[in-house]
Amino acid sequence: MADIRISMGTITLSIDDRTEREFRRLVEKILGKRKGALGEAATEAMDLWIRTKAQEEIARDALELAEKAYHFGGRKYTSRKDLYDRQPAAD
């Protein structure tokens, strides 16, 4: 059987009391009081935040690209008529 090792980091955070109480209350309600529930919920919250910010960055980059003007070359015709007129076939 394969030995799977998961590396975990430690982060010390200072957050306001109201946010902490609400977060802990919801974690306990949804995941219970089991060991690791708080870390699991915090990891899920951070993953969501990362995905949201990454998506915002992708959208911002796409808008910047859309706003750039691109030069695709000059016209090779003088009027629309030049595009559609058929020349008689040479015999």
- Angstrom distances, CA of residue 88 to CA of 17, 36, 79, 82, 91: 85, 82, 19, 14, 9
Q: Residues 26-52: what's their mean pLDDT?
A: 96
The confidence score (pLDDT) of residue 36 equals 92
Residue 62 to residue 90: CA distance in whole angstroms: 50
Is the pLDDT score of 67 beyond 90?
no
- State mean pLDDT over 22-38: 96
Is the pTM higher than 0.75? The answer reads no
At residue 58, the pLDDT reads 95
Looking at residue 26, what is its pLDDT?
Answer: 97
Whole-angstrom distance, CA of residue 26 vs CA of residue 42: 11
45: helix, strand or coil: helix
Return d(Cα 50, Cα 56) in angstroms, integer: 10
Average pLDDT on 19-42 reads: 96
